[in-house]
Amino acid sequence: MAKKQKKQTGGTPATVALTAAGVDYTVHSYDHDPASPSYGEEAAEALGVSPDRVFKTLVADVDGELTVAVVPVAGQLDLKALASAVGGKRATMADPTLAERTTGYVRGGISPLGQRKRLRTVLDASASTHETICISAGRRGLEVELTPTALTTLTEAVLAPIGRN
């Protein structure tokens, strides 16, 4: 069962960044099942939130530059659309070890916020159709709910249609 918690001090680098920025957010935690085949779908189910409001953070390589893509867990990342959104020619999924080392987070817990090295970020345009969305708070079993505008502002994200069903 998910637990709700309003602003906290300390926590993960993502929640620390949110608190420092003075952004309103809600932390949701749940018991992560290591056997779950999809971290995002597990989060949506545990939180009782529609999968189109829960967004996963993926790290891709666009023309040699690591780029963060934030898309609904209900769909997939369109790599061609991601490359186009940032003026690139070709995108591939980044090596998971490199993604973890660069962001400072483990796979399944990568957040677009509070990364060790700030990466260029693209948020799927569908986020703007929701009052709030949920993203990883920096570890498996921990999500943060915030407005798409707050996420876009804090990450300096480009808003583009990069997800597909």
pLDDT digits (tens, 9 = 90+) for 41-92: 888 888 999 999 999 999 999 999 999 999 999 899 999 999 999 999 999 9
Backbone angles phi, psi at 159, to 5 degrees: -100, 120
pTM of the model: 0.90
Spell out a b/e string for 73-96, using b for 16 or more CB atoms within 10 Å of the CB, else e: bbbebbbebbbbbbebeebeebee
pLDDT digits (tens, 9 = 90+) for 119-143: 999 999 999 999 999 999 999 899 9
